[in-house]
Chain A
Amino acid sequence: MAANSRKAEPAPSTGTPTERARTLEQLLATKEIVISCGSGGVGKTTTAAAAAAMAATHLGGKVLVLTVDPAKRLANALGLERFGNVETRVPDSAFAAAGIEPRGELWAAMLDTKQSWDDLIARHAPDTKTREAILANSIYQNISGRFVQSHDYIAMERLYEIHSSGTYDLIVVDTPPTRNAIDFLEAPDRMADFFSSKLLRWLTAPSKSRVMNFASKPFYTVADRILGSQFLADIAEFFGLFQAMAPGFVERADAVTKILADKRTTFVVVSTLEAAPLHEAEFFIDALDERKLHLGALVLNKVLPAYLRRTATTGVAKRLCADADELAASVPDAGDAADTARVLATIGESFLNYQVVAKREAEQRASLARTPDVVAAVPYFDADIHDLAGLLQLGDQIWR
């Protein structure tokens, strides 16, 4: 197995090509960071949690799942309801309830963007006074709470922090529901750009020289006119405070970028077989390729069962619709014949309806241009996944 072959190598991060993983199990055995990504609502959080639970169960070691916005009941099942940002161990009793004795430990944490930003400021601020000033600044509060990309960045930042601590053998990261899945790939670079931008330098220049240097440039004249000089001054003050930390931030963002490209990191793209999410997934797969990032697996989630596509059954279903009365008569001692006929016609029609969707899904799947070595399909479970047993059941579908 891949876990053994790894020993032969000097170090996992030197870029020696590893034996290609054929299953999620092999993949996870050779990686330290797994990032679950995809379009909104496809099952990123569920897949991340399931993969982590499987790794803790079968591979052992200390496994952390860093979730972003788990459904309430899932959060409860993982024991996250009270702790949020803090890493918490999923109790063995939760595994016992699922009838499992895990080889390792499963830990979970939920990402609290605001809290993580505050922690970050605390880490980078040169002194208490600056820290307090920033935390109290209304523009900072606005940015940390609402700045659209701050969510993406902070997830990657948190990952870096935890990984550097060396506490875990494997970290599985869930990603926030962004419209563009690549947003968070670019978040660290954008953050670095932002803190080293011309605008920032302009805003943080003493206001007199700002006027001198830029008064002639129409854009800044316009900005002053639109936003008012007071607001610009507020921003300037905020960034003035921030400037002391800019080098730290830029350096940090670079380190976060590096970890995404590290050989120990892999991406798991999750999608349903609906057109829009799949399109997004393909786009994302290309984006990973372009950036030379490692695509480990594609998880196709909520797939309808294969029997729905059987052509032989199409005729049977059509007969149930067309000849319901006749067929009702053939059922041994059924009750009311009219009732039976109606039920037969209904189930025939329902099959044909679902078949349309199942066939469309199959076509979507067949049209996938590029797929990784590991492609797993997860059936549409008839109930929500909200406990460890459910996660492990889902995990079984993708593990080997």
Chain B
Amino acid sequence: MTALLDRKLLFVTGKGGVGKSTIAASLGLLAAEQGKRTLVCEVDAKGNLADFYEAGETAFAARELQPDLWAMSMNTEESLKEYLSLQLKIPLLAKIGPLARTFDFIANAAPGVKEILTIGKVAWEVKERHYDLVVVDSVASGHIIGQLTAPQGINELVQVGMVRNQTQWMLDILTDPAQTGVVIVSAPEEMPVAETIELAERLNTETQVDLAAVVVNRVLPELFTEREEALFDSLRSPERVEALTAAAGGDVTPVLDAAELAVTLRRTRAGHLATLRGALDPALPLIYVPYLFTRSHGARATRKVAEMLSEEL
């Protein structure tokens, strides 16, 4: 199987809030630092990719944030304009004034148009070999199937016309596991795990796009071995708490409570992890990223996660 960062196009998806942007940003940073010319593209109009690099706002036009690392934000309207001028060589562009107002209507009326403009743009960057790797901070699990199958859907719905002619090369790129892969970001919690399993299944049955890896984000540390845990439990007896409190110069109860909370949280999560592992193809790479106990989540956290990913990859 092609190593993750040796592919050309990665779609990072997962349940809302699990860490898609964190992982996409970190994968992009890691690839760039390995000398790959990398584009990170956020698909969400309201996205916050810029926060993860702290290097200024991102726009539809890709911008180089640091050597080999480029970033852009998807805008389907801009994408349509670019598509028309670059690929269809439609010269009227400057004159399509009402485009902005009417675009929403046509995009809503014709299912798949917005999706195809998104997929088309990133696939185009791959086709033209503008970058070694394009990482897409993609839509959440609920919408990714619709996005990935848009070229296929358009192919079926639209019998003739230019769009149809344009979908074949997209399909060629999307369905080639050496080039394209999906990365599902998950977390060791009930709903993210359930969604990951469901999405892995749907990718397999409803699309021809390869699932490249599952990243389990926010994994809590295992505090104790079994023996240490027994010891920890014994520390909770009143006379020991009292002795420790005296020796430490302050009440140790909150510290013990916090450790107990950490142990139980880890334990319930371990159950969800086991469910996830059991449901996925054993050959599929599972990458673990620990929970970061940091004050803020900007460029420093992105770098830290990139380092952790590099150890795991």
- Specify the main secondary structure of chain A where it touches its partner: helix
Instruction: Verify A340–B231 contact, CB threshold 8 A.
Output: yes
Chain B neighbourhood of A357, CB < 8 A: 293
- By beta carbon, the residue of chain B nearest A384 is B190
- B76-110: which residues lie under 8 A (CB-CB) from chain A? 84, 88, 90, 92, 95-96, 98-99, 102, 105-106, 108-110
Q: When chains A and B are docked, how far (Å) is the Cα of A330 from the Cα of B252?
A: 13
Chain B neighbourhood of A277, CB < 8 A: 17
The listed residue (B44, B98, B251, B294) touching A219 by CB distance below 8 A is B98
Q: Any chain B CB within 8 A of the CB of A353?
A: yes
- B191-237: which residues lie under 8 A (CB-CB) from chain A? 191-192, 194, 221, 223-224, 227-228, 231-232, 234-235
The listed residue (A149, A179, A330) touching B140 by CB distance below 8 A is A179
Instruction: Verify B295–A360 contact, CB threshold 8 A.
Output: yes
Q: When chains A and B are docked, how far (Å) is the Cα of A178 from the Cα of B54?
A: 26
Instruction: Verify B262–A354 contact, CB threshold 8 A.
Output: yes
Q: When chains A and B are docked, how far (Å) is the Cα of A91 from the Cα of B43?
A: 44
Nearest chain B CB to A124 CB, angstrom units:
19
Instruction: Verify B111–A316 contact, CB threshold 8 A.
Output: no
Nearest chain B CB to A370 CB, angstrom units:
20
Instruction: Verify B84–A222 contact, CB threshold 8 A.
Output: yes
Q: Any chain B CB within 8 A of the CB of A335?
A: yes
Chain A neighbourhood of B67, CB < 8 A: none
Chain B neighbourhood of A143, CB < 8 A: 111
Given that A146-B111, A222-B84, A316-B249 are contacting pairs, would A348 and B255 also be in contact in the complex, using a CB cutoff of 8 Å? Answer: yes
Q: When chains A and B are docked, how far (Å) is the Cα of A400 from the Cα of B299?
A: 42
Instruction: Verify B153–A346 contact, CB threshold 8 A.
Output: no
Nearest chain B CB to A319 CB, angstrom units:
5
Q: Any chain B CB within 8 A of the CB of A39?
A: yes
- Specify the main secondary structure of chain B where it touches its partner: helix
Q: When chains A and B are docked, how far (Å) is the Cα of A332 from the Cα of B190?
A: 41
- By beta carbon, the residue of chain B nearest A335 is B231
Instruction: Verify A72–B48 contact, CB threshold 8 A.
Output: no
User: Which of B1-9, B31-39, B154-162, B277-285 forms part of the interface with chain A?
Assistant: B154-162
- Measured as residues with beta carbon below 8 angstroms from the partner, the interface class of chain B is 35 or more
Given that A276-B48, A343-B231, A350-B262 are contacting pairs, would A225 and B162 also be in contact in the complex, using a CB cutoff of 8 Å? Answer: yes
Q: When chains A and B are docked, how far (Å) is the Cα of A111 from the Cα of B43?
A: 27
- B230-275: which residues lie under 8 A (CB-CB) from chain A? 231-232, 234-235, 239-240, 243-244, 246-252, 254-259, 261-262, 264-265, 268
Instruction: Verify A199–B192 contact, CB threshold 8 A.
Output: no
Q: When chains A and B are docked, how far (Å) is the Cα of A323 from the Cα of B190?
A: 39
Instruction: Verify B295–A71 contact, CB threshold 8 A.
Output: no
Instruction: Verify B252–A382 contact, CB threshold 8 A.
Output: no
Chain A neighbourhood of B191, CB < 8 A: 41, 71
- By beta carbon, the residue of chain B nearest A178 is B16
Q: Any chain B CB within 8 A of the CB of A119?
A: no
Instruction: Verify A139–B111 contact, CB threshold 8 A.
Output: yes
Q: Any chain B CB within 8 A of the CB of A362?
A: no
Instruction: Verify B105–A228 contact, CB threshold 8 A.
Output: no
Instruction: Verify A353–B143 contact, CB threshold 8 A.
Output: no
Instruction: Verify A312–B190 contact, CB threshold 8 A.
Output: no
Q: Any chain A CB within 8 A of the CB of B297?
A: yes
Chain B neighbourhood of A355, CB < 8 A: 258
A 371-400 binary contact with B (CB < 8 Å = 1; else 0) = 000000000101110100000000000000
Q: Any chain A CB within 8 A of the CB of B163?
A: yes
Q: Any chain B CB within 8 A of the CB of A244?
A: no
B 281-313 binary contact with A (CB < 8 Å = 1; else 0) = 000000000000111110000000000000000
Instruction: Verify B250–A197 contact, CB threshold 8 A.
Output: no
Q: When chains A and B are docked, how far (Å) is the Cα of A72 from the Cα of B191?
A: 9
How many residues on chain A are close to B (CB under 8 Å)?
85
Nearest chain A CB to B32 CB, angstrom units:
24
Q: When chains A and B are docked, how far (Å) is the Cα of A304 from the Cα of B228?
A: 25
Instruction: Verify A235–B110 contact, CB threshold 8 A.
Output: yes
Q: When chains A and B are docked, how far (Å) is the Cα of A351 from the Cα of B189?
A: 22
Instruction: Verify A231–B157 contact, CB threshold 8 A.
Output: yes
Q: Any chain A CB within 8 A of the CB of B121?
A: no
- A177-201: which residues lie under 8 A (CB-CB) from chain B? 177, 179-180, 194, 197-200
Q: Any chain B CB within 8 A of the CB of A206?
A: no
Q: When chains A and B are docked, how far (Å) is the Cα of A198 from the Cα of B246?
A: 78
Given that A219-B99, A231-B110 are contacting pairs, would A40 and B17 also be in contact in the complex, using a CB cutoff of 8 Å? Answer: yes
Chain A neighbourhood of B159, CB < 8 A: 228, 230-231
Given that A180-B46, A227-B163, A334-B234 are contacting pairs, would A327 and B228 also be in contact in the complex, using a CB cutoff of 8 Å? Answer: no
The listed residue (B223, B235, B239, B257) touching A307 by CB distance below 8 A is B257
Instruction: Verify A222–B16 contact, CB threshold 8 A.
Output: no
The listed residue (A139, A319, A353, A380) touching B249 by CB distance below 8 A is A319
Q: When chains A and B are docked, how far (Å) is the Cα of A25 from the Cα of B87?
A: 60
Q: Any chain A CB within 8 A of the CB of B177?
A: no
- B106-125: which residues lie under 8 A (CB-CB) from chain A? 106, 108-113
Residues of A within 8 A of B (CB): 39-42, 71-73, 138-139, 142-143, 146-149, 177, 179-180, 194, 197-200, 203, 217-219, 221-223, 225-231, 234-235, 239, 274-277, 305, 307-308, 310, 312-313, 315-317, 319-320, 323, 326-327, 330-332, 334-335, 339-340, 342-344, 346-348, 350-351, 353-357, 359-360, 380, 382-384, 386
4 other contacts beyond A217-B98, A347-B223, with CB at 8 A cut-off? A228-B164, A231-B160, A351-B255, A384-B190
23 contacts between A and B (CB under 8 A): A40-B15, A177-B142, A179-B140, A180-B46, A219-B98, A222-B96, A227-B158, A228-B162, A230-B160, A231-B161, A308-B258, A313-B251, A313-B254, A316-B248, A316-B254, A319-B248, A327-B248, A330-B247, A339-B228, A351-B259, A382-B261, A382-B265, A384-B268
3 closest residue pairs by CB, A with B: A40-B16, A228-B161, A330-B247
